[in-house]
Amino acid sequence: MNRLTALFSAALLSVGMMSATAQAQEDPAASTQQPQAAAPAQDFSDDQLQQFADASEEIAVISQEYTQRLQEAEDESAQQEVRMEANEEMVEVVEDSGLDVDTFNAIGQAIQQDPELMQRVQEMAQS
C-alpha cells in the first residue's frame, strides 16, 4: 500500500512539474494565474480513474529514470534538456492513457484531498 502511495506521489510530482513547465512554455503569463480548484471526485468516471492509475504507474517509472539522468547532467542547460525530454514523455503517457494533462492533474489533486478516492485508485492500480 505504501508503495502505491509513493507511486502516486511521484507521478503527481512529476506531472505537476510537467504541467507547470508546459504552461510556462505556452503562456508566459501562466505563472501569475491562480491555480485551478480540484474537480470534485464525483466528476471522474471509473474509466478515467483507471486511466489515471495506469498512467501513474508508467509516469513513476519515467520519473525515476529521468531523476537519475537529471542528477548526472553536467550543467543547467543539460538539466533543462533532460526536464523537457521527461515532460514530453510524461505528456505522451498521459495522452496515450486517454486523458489530457489537465484531467490527469485534476484527478491527482482530488485523490490527495479525498482518502476514499485514493483508496479506489489504489485498488484499480493493483488489479
Whether residue 24 has pLDDT greater than 90: no
* pLDDT score of 127: 80
* pLDDT score of 18: 53
How far is Cα 87 from Cα 52, in angstroms, rounded to an integer? Answer: 17
The pLDDT tens digits for 51-82 are 999 999 999 999 899 999 999 999 999 999 99
Whether residue 120 has pLDDT greater than 50: yes
Question: Is the distance from CB of 62 to CB of 93 less than 8 angstroms?
Answer: yes
Whether residue 26 has pLDDT greater than 90: no
